[in-house]
Structure 1
Amino acid sequence: MTMHQSIDPAAPRNGEAPAPLKRATRADFLRADDKDMLRAARDLTSDLGTANPRIYWTDMLISAALGYAGIAVAILVDSLAIAVIAGLVASLALYRALMFIHELTHIHRDALPGFRTGWNLAVGIPLLTPSFMYEGVHVIHHKRTQYGTVEDPEYLPLALMKPWSLPVFVIVALLASAALIVRFAVLVPLGKLFPGLRTFTWERFSALSINPDFRRKPPKGDFAKRVAWQEAGASLWAIALIASGFVLGWRPLLIALAILSFTALLNQLRTLVAHLWENEGEPMTVTAQFLDSVNVPPPGPIAEMWAPVGLRYHALHHLMPSMPYHDLPEAHRRLARELGTDSTYDGANHPGMAVLVGRIARSTMTKR
């Protein structure tokens, strides 16, 4: 019996029926990996893993265009119902376009020529979320010795915290759009005059992180050059947005901010259920990290809206971080078929957001 099937099965005694098999859990793999599962992940997906430029560019550009068109309709129409529908479409489309920032942190720099620059010009800078805010940050979250520890910028033991922490964690996302305008339109220009403010802004407000103790190190080399032009572009755009309020009135900007605030809220909800958040700071094996992460596989299309661009396969992504998002569904099908429903792999598969939120909420009410 291999580890990926079950662990510690009770042998029959005196003619008794064997005890039910127990699926392996995260705690079972804190010190040792399920090597069978890791080997299967490698062998069964060896022909996958090449980023397809046509898929990336088409998906990103259509999502961005649909999002901006939705914002325009929401601003221009007189019907409240149509404006709300257009705003919802815009929010979901721009959310999908924004989530390509996750792909940018993992794909090889030569895999998609021009895509990083194109994404920043079409999405990152207009939405005040240039790729430097995730690049160099998210990779720490994938380091074996830092995932789930105090050094991880994208991890908090939310399932072990006070019950009030969950609504605060979600609701604070509504402030993200306004905070980004302040960062780029106010703090960046002032940082040119006051180096101490520049350092403070970089360390505290330059990373898409949830760990309040994370302090970002200064950029170096080619990355520093990318930061310079992306930050300058976002700063100029943020200043233009504020100026537009004096020229065009504040209604268009407020509508756009409302739409993007809903996008940020949706992303925060996705973040809330991206992991089980049950680690208290100790280093974990790859398998333990996998089981602390979440897949929400088909059937059902809803997860594709709140966890787009491959993020519904977030646990699988932690097994194979460099796998392009368009190959993750096929990789999942192969592993699920080969390893079965009582496997370690199946232990990371969950039915949906509501169940996961309920699990975390119950944990906060019982463990503290």
Structure 2
Amino acid sequence: MTMQQTITAGSTDQNKGKPTLASIADDKAMLRAARDLTRDLGAARGAIYWTDMLASAIIGYAALAGAILLHQPLLVVALGLVAALALYRALLFIHEISHIHRDALPGFRLGWNLLVGIPLLTPSFMYEGVHTLHHARTRYGTREDPEYLPLALMKPWSLPLFVAIALLAPIALLFRFAVLVPLGAIIPAVRRLTWTRFSALSINPDFRRRPAEGELKPRVLYQEALGMIWAWLLLASTQMIGWRPLLIALAVVSVTAVLNQLRTLVAHLWENEGEPMTVTAQFLDSVNVPPPGVVAEIWAPVGLRYHALHHLMPSMPYHDLPEAHRRLARELGDGSTYFGANHPGMATLVARIARSTMRPRQP
């Protein structure tokens, strides 16, 4: 089935005269190909996960240490940028942790939390049990989706605000763990507020997190306790070695947060108005930025350059997504629905979303 056939298979918005995302029917041939062509893929390889994560963390922390210890401005900026990019890659393994089977990589979640999640005050509980809601077929793109906002349908000023607010992320995380967690241990109302409003990596301001259950509950306890202790140690260090090291670290994490927010901005087209969508519609509202370009591997690492494909196969390990993409592209061919989710790069996507915010809206 071609892209045009997929769209016209659904109904159209009678007011605008063009198909809406919610009206797009499923391309069964594409869904069947995604299943049949990737049967031999899908096993998470521990050697790849551990090597990639450890190398990213080591490079990131080494560059951060250099930025703190050296005092030449250009070297500080250069090393800070290297640290931000490397730690960004290490941090994005939180996405894989939210999807991989609990028995697939023994010890990886714990190791990642101790090496990356806790030091960056972004432990895995802030994504586990939240991100999977984004993949629920009946929730994606609706008001119950923690990771969706119709950004393309909002005001033009919403886009720079969406990106700029990420600058405050490290300060907000430090405040959460150093102040709100210990206060919450004493005051139940603070604890409830912290959990429902400030314990999820979400972009939907209406999202309220439900209480942790099952295996997640004890993980939350130890991760919050370690996060609180680490936040106190960071603040206490300023009394012994001054504020410069912490401020540089916060600046590096701010760059990482802004880069992640830019990636989030172009992870979808954000064109749904809150209606439930088919799997194919969700796929077309998501973004692939496949090769030959290499820059996308920097701003969308750990498989996230294949974000649309990820929405077709959420449990596929990141290291198998390039091969899955090659097989589907070869089998389905140009002009197919599959190619409708492929885009050339971040600049093109930002421009598309920005243009969409400037279009006049009908009541």
Tell me how far apart the structure 2 counterparts of residues 335 and 31 of structure 1 sit (CA, whole Å).
Answer: 20
2:132 is aligned with 1:134: no
Q: Which one of the candidate residues 258, 262, 265 is aligned to 1:272?
A: 265
Output the amino acid matched with 1:344: T
Quote how far apart the aligned CAs of 1:108 are: 0.3
Asked if structure 1 preserves the Cα contact closer than 8 Å seen for 2:269 and 2:285, the reply is yes
Output the amino acid matched with 1:175: L
2:217 is aligned with 1:235: no
Tell me how far apart the structure 1 counterparts of residues 345 and 6 of structure 2 sit (CA, whole Å).
Answer: 29
Quote how far apart the aligned CAs of 1:79 are: 1.3
Q: Which one of the candidate residues 314, 319, 325 is aligned to 1:321?
A: 314
Identify unmatched segments of 5+ residues in structure 2: 9-17
RMSD across aligned positions (CA): 1.5
Which residue of structure 2 aligns with residue 222 of structure 1? 215
Tell me how far apart the structure 2 counterparts of residues 236 and 31 of structure 1 sit (CA, whole Å).
Answer: 49
Output the amino acid matched with 1:181: L
2:1 is aligned with 1:7: no
Tell me how far apart the structure 2 counterparts of residues 281 and 166 of structure 1 sit (CA, whole Å).
Answer: 19
Tell me how far apart the structure 2 counterparts of residues 53 and 4 of structure 1 sit (CA, whole Å).
Answer: 38
State the number of aligned residues: 352
Which residue of structure 2 aligns with residue 90 of structure 1? 83
Tell me how far apart the structure 1 counterparts of residues 53 and 309 of structure 2 sit (CA, whole Å).
Answer: 22
Matches within 5 A, 1:69-148: 69-148=62-141
Q: Which one of the candidate residues 296, 307, 327 is aligned to 1:303?
A: 296
Quote how far apart the aligned CAs of 1:204 are: 0.2
Output the amino acid matched with 2:213: K
**TM-score, with normalisation over the residues of structure 1?**
0.93
Asked if structure 1 preserves the Cα contact closer than 8 Å seen for 2:90 and 2:116, the reply is yes
Asked if structure 1 preserves the Cα contact closer than 8 Å seen for 2:150 and 2:270, the reply is yes
Asked if structure 1 preserves the Cα contact closer than 8 Å seen for 2:6 and 2:24, the reply is no
Asked if structure 2 preserves the Cα contact closer than 8 Å seen for 1:5 and 1:339, the reply is no
Tell me how far apart the structure 1 counterparts of residues 355 and 26 of structure 2 sit (CA, whole Å).
Answer: 28
Quote how far apart the aligned CAs of 1:278 are: 0.2
- Identical aligned residues as a percent: 73
Asked if structure 2 preserves the Cα contact closer than 8 Å seen for 1:4 and 1:339, the reply is no
Output the amino acid matched with 2:5: I
Which residue of structure 1 aligns with residue 13 of structure 2? none
2:264 is aligned with 1:257: no
Asked if structure 2 preserves the Cα contact closer than 8 Å seen for 1:67 and 1:89, the reply is yes
Asked if structure 2 preserves the Cα contact closer than 8 Å seen for 1:138 and 1:154, the reply is yes
Matches within 5 A, 1:40-51: 40-51=33-44
Which residue of structure 2 aligns with residue 17 of structure 1? none
2:176 is aligned with 1:183: yes
Asked if structure 1 preserves the Cα contact closer than 8 Å seen for 2:6 and 2:337, the reply is no
Q: Which one of the candidate residues 211, 227, 232 is aligned to 2:204?
A: 211
CA change 1:112–1:182 in 2 (3 A) is: same
Q: Which one of the candidate residues 345, 362, 366 is aligned to 2:359?
A: 366
Quote how far apart the aligned CAs of 1:27 are: 3.5
Quote how far apart the aligned CAs of 1:7 are: 2.0
Identify unmatched segments of 5+ residues in structure 1: 11-24
CA deviation vs aligned residue, 1:284-343 (integer Å, no higher than 9, x gap):
000000000000001121000000000000000000000000000000011111111101
Tell me how far apart the structure 2 counterparts of residues 111 and 221 of structure 1 sit (CA, whole Å).
Answer: 19
CA change 1:350–1:203 in 2 (3 A) is: same
Output the amino acid matched with 1:200: L
Q: Which one of the candidate residues 132, 138, 150 is aligned to 1:157?
A: 150
Quote how far apart the aligned CAs of 1:123 are: 0.3
Which residue of structure 2 aligns with residue 195 of structure 1? 188
Output the amino acid matched with 1:303: A
CA deviation vs aligned residue, 1:214-266 (integer Å, no higher than 9, x gap):
00001122211000000100110011101111111000000000011000000
CA deviation vs aligned residue, 1:176-224 (integer Å, no higher than 9, x gap):
0000000000000011111000000000000000000000001122211
Asked if structure 1 preserves the Cα contact closer than 8 Å seen for 2:152 and 2:271, the reply is yes
Which residue of structure 2 aligns with residue 58 of structure 1? 51
CA change 1:33–1:261 in 2 (3 A) is: same
**TM-score, with normalisation over the residues of structure 2?**
0.95
